[in-house]
Amino acid sequence: MDAPTAAAKRLKEAGLRPTRFRERTLEALWATDAALSHKDLVSRLPDLDRVTIFRCIKQLRKSSLLHKVRGTDGVSRFVANRTSGSSCPGNHPHFFCLSCGALTCLEGLRLPHLELPTGFEVRGKQFLVEGICPGCAQGRATAAGPDEKETSS
């Protein structure tokens, strides 16, 4: 018998039956640090049906194996949750690059705790920072000319 893949183990831990489709979707998300949209996943898994991928995303999200982030362009993107047993997956701000459209998890940062009025029940939080990512900022600096040096006054 083949040893179960890491993805299969993770799916089992989350209480999901490890199907090939779920494994492939999870592995595609693990393969990158970037947040992937449904369209990105479809192009990375060309042999899978787009509806199948959509279903896998839904199931993985329900089982807290990934979290969803929406960019200011309105497109939902998905990131695999790295740590297991986190009570609030995706409980961190995200950075949206206005230049390349990359969405990055700012996992080291905590979301502010909001003291809501009585009666309001929190189901999720979205905190999106928009700007220019390091990669694009570097590209700009290079484009500005190699002669230009940063001066620390």
80 in contact with Zn ion (CB under 5 A): no
- Lookup: tokens for 57: 């995303």
The stretch near Zn ion (CB under 5 A) out of 10-18, 57-65, 71-79, 80-88 is 71-79
- Lookup: tokens for 78: 């998905």
Q: 56 or 97, CB closer to Zn ion?
A: 97
In the bound complex, what is the minimum distance in angstroms from residue 117's beta carbon to Zn ion? 27
d(CA 71, CA 35): 10
Q: Which of 65, 79, 80, 103 binds Zn ion (CB under 5 A)?
A: 79
136 in contact with Zn ion (CB under 5 A): yes
133 in contact with Zn ion (CB under 5 A): yes
For the chain, give the number of residues: 153
List strand residue ranges (DSSP E) for 44-127, in order: 66-70, 76-80, 94-97, 103-105
d(CA 32, CA 106): 15
Interface residues with Zn ion (CB under 5 A) are 79, 90, 97, 99-100, 102, 105, 133, 136
